[in-house]
Structure 1
């Protein structure tokens, strides 16, 4: 159980990749804080983790887009009070509605996407850095997109948010590299049979894509001791080998 006594917060924990990571990390002993706005999905992941006899997770209903700064700080305070320290954050929550040209993008949709995909990770990192710094080693993992990060036409706010998010990850990694305690990396899942992929490419033959469970070894690597000292990297699942 290499992740025993590790406390890891996962955003979007009710979603496809978030729940996959939660199960994989919990199976190896991690105490998972499941964060999502969808309570029913959180409860399903909670039950699945108990079924495999992993450490009991914590459900934390939270609206990343709608929460204010005080609510973010309250989350950090509660984690600090309950656990004393935090060993990991996985930014897995994502907002994507559809591909759309910039000329027709609605301001409300633009703002909401940036709030979930970029502003929320910034706020979470800012309030949780003091709790992470209490750990001997801690890992922050952002989730990017192999296509959106290239800024193709119609990627819209989703593409912009992924490009900016990778910049945020690189800045954080550079700021904390000298201290050697907090490592910051970006995971690029690549084309994967996930709910997001189904929304983005509904006509695609998903049987030819890797399953979400194929990412489990990468999550274990990024939050395990093997990745200590690895920071500021964009790790592509399609070329990842242990």
Structure 2
């Protein structure tokens, strides 16, 4: 139980990768704050963690795109009042509608995608940094996409958000490196049998893809003390070895 007494917040905790990470981290004893706008999805992963014998998590229904800065700060204040500090932050929430040519990309879809995938990650990270600074060591993990980051045609706002997110993570890692407390890395899951993959490639034979559970060891590593000193890295799940 190497993550015992570690408090980790997961966005998109009800999604495919978010719930996979939540189960993996809870099995190692982590205390989790599960963030998602869907209460039924939160309840599902909550029940799964409890049934697995992990520490009882906290459900925090929250709309990343719809919340204002005050609501983000209220969340951070509530965490501080209850726990005092935070040891981990996993950005797993994602917005993807469809592959769209930029020439016909709707402004509303563009703004919503950037709000969830990029702006929310910035605001949430900023308001939680003081709590992570109170920890002896802490880990921030962003989630990117191997296809979107290549700036291929039709990736639209989703692709732009992932490219920008990787840049944001790199800048943040360099700014925090001198403090030697908070490490910042980006996970690229690669092609995997996830709900997002099904939505993006509905005709693909998913039986040929790795299961989401194959990412569990990487999630555990990134939040475990074994990854201390590793920061500013892009972790490709297809090539990374523990």
Shift of 1:240: 1.1
Aligned length: 242
Inter-partner Cα distance in structure 2 for 1:56 and 1:8: 13
Residue 176 of structure 2 corresponds to residue 182 of structure 1: no
User: 1:118-157, CA deviations, whole angstroms, 9 ceiling, x for partnerless residues?
Assistant: 0000000110000000000000000000010010000000
2: CA distance, partners of 1:38 / 1:117: 17
Structure 2 spans left out of the alignment, 5+ residues: none
2:171 is the counterpart of 1:171: yes
- What's the C-alpha RMSD, in Å, of the aligned pairs? 0.3
Secondary structure, counterpart of 2:238 in structure 1: helix
Alignment of 1:180-219 (within 5 A): 180-219=180-219
Once the two structures are TM-superposed, the CA of residue 43 in structure 1 deviates from its matched residue by: 0.3
Where do 1:1-242 residues align within 5 Å?
Answer: 1-242=1-242
Which 4+ runs in 1 deviate beyond 3 A?
Answer: none
Deviations 1:63-98 (A, max 9, x none): 000000000000000111111100000000000000
Deviations 1:28-63 (A, max 9, x none): 000010000000000000000000111000000000
**d(CA) in 1 for partners of 2:241, 2:111:** 37
Cα distance in structure 1, aligned partners of 2:15 and 2:76: 22
1:113 CA displacement: 0.1
Distance in 2 between the 1:240 and 1:171 partners?
A: 22
Q: TM-score, normalised by structure 1?
A: 1.00
2: distance between equivalents of 1:153 and 1:216? 31
